[in-house]
Amino acid sequence: MIVCKTRKELQEALTRCRQGKSVGLVPTMGALHDGHASLFARARAENDVFVASVFVNPIQFNNPDDLKNYPRQFEADRNLLEQNGCDIMFAPETEEMYPAGEPVRTYAFGPLENVMEGARRPGHFAGVGAVVGLLFQLIAPDRAYFGEKDFQQVAVIKELARQMDSGVEIVSCPIKRGDDGLALSSRNALLTPENRAKAPAIYATLKKSLAMAHRTCGEVKDWVKSQIAVFPEMELEYFEIADPDSLQPLDDTLPAAGNVGFIVVWMGKVRLIDNIRY
Ligand code: PAF
């Protein structure tokens, strides 16, 4: 595996490896785990060259504490990528990604970014769009892989690829869960052992809510809220049921097949996100 810290090293590595072959990109913020490994497996299997980026993108964090606490583990990430057959690891410093004086290209995603994560984390999707757009420009992958745990992010990135006319195929990969159902996330490592033991109740609640499809979305939302409220260590930030394409939240209709329930729960200082299909 070639490890590149600079754009120049990246271009050299791409020139050496690409030679007309297909390139698959998995953009990450590091702290890699089995959830990422499922994306790596697909990128490895479906492309000749597998590139992974590891970059904690400061401009997508609207909360400075969240950025400060985000886990960083370069050596472990490098080993995991190597074990997963990665050809090129791109791990730049912030100054390399955003050199002083180079304007950051931004994109607008309209209604997709005005709801849920976009509404609660102002500037988040502008930051995600900027960094992923830059990675698409620098790497020009044929395919890029993203996990459905961040369902709204996948929708935004599909829109980004459309706006950039990049020709990058966006591959959306199913959520990877622990044996107890908790969606795998870099943030899980920050949970206290007590909160980690309780956290699977989030997905258990989402699964139980599937049995309520004869009630309106508003009623299902109220029920989920009441279930999460039972846990004193959990604070529900939001639960919404939304259309999978427009992402606009629904209230008065029954959940239709394919609608998605989106949940965000705080446990201590850790923000956990998950979703389920109705
Ligand atoms: O999902 C993530 O890890 C990040 O939002 C991404 C796509 C790597 C952009 O920084």
Q: Quick one: which atom of ligand 1 is closest to the CA of 53?
A: 8
Q: CB of 185 closer than 6 A to ligand 1?
A: no
CATH of the domain at 273: 3.30.1300.10
For residues 202 and 273, membership in a common domain is answered with yes
Ordered DSSP codes for 203-232: HHHHHHHGGGTTS-HHHHHHHHHHHHHT-T
Ligand 1 center–CA 230 separation, angstroms: 32
Rounded CA-CA distance 17/86 in Å is 12
Q: Are residues 70 and 100 in the same domain?
A: yes
pLDDT digits (tens, 9 = 90+) for 13-31: 999 999 999 999 999 999 9
| Mean of all residue pLDDT scores within the chain | 96
**Whether the predicted pLDDT of 9 surpasses 90:** yes
Residues 108 and 190 in one domain: no
Note whether 55 and 193 are same-domain residues: no
Instruction: Count the domains in the chain.
Output: 2
Average pLDDT for 134-143: 98
Q: What is the pTM of this model?
A: 0.95
Q: Given a cut of 90, is residue 66 above it in pLDDT?
A: no
Give the domain extent around 11. Answer: 2-173
Asked if residue 150 has its Cβ within 6 Å of ligand 1, the reply is: yes
- Tell whether 10 and 32 lie within a shared domain: yes
Q: Is the CB of 27 under 6 A from ligand 1?
A: yes
Does one domain contain both 150 and 216? no
Residues 83-105 have a mean pLDDT of: 97
Residues 272 and 166 in one domain: no
Q: Considering the domain boundaries, does residue 181 fall inside one?
A: no
pLDDT tens digits, residue range 165-214?
A: 999 999 999 999 999 999 999 899 999 999 999 999 999 999 999 999 89
C-alpha span between 115 and 120 (Å, rounded): 8
Which pLDDT tens digit goes with each residue over 210-254?
A: 999 899 999 999 999 999 999 999 999 999 999 999 999 999 999
Do residues 93 and 202 both lie within one domain?
no
Q: Tell me, yes or no, whether 198 and 60 share the same domain.
A: no
Same domain, 234 and 169: no
Residue 149 sits in the same domain as residue 20: yes
Q: Are residues 113 and 45 in the same domain?
A: yes
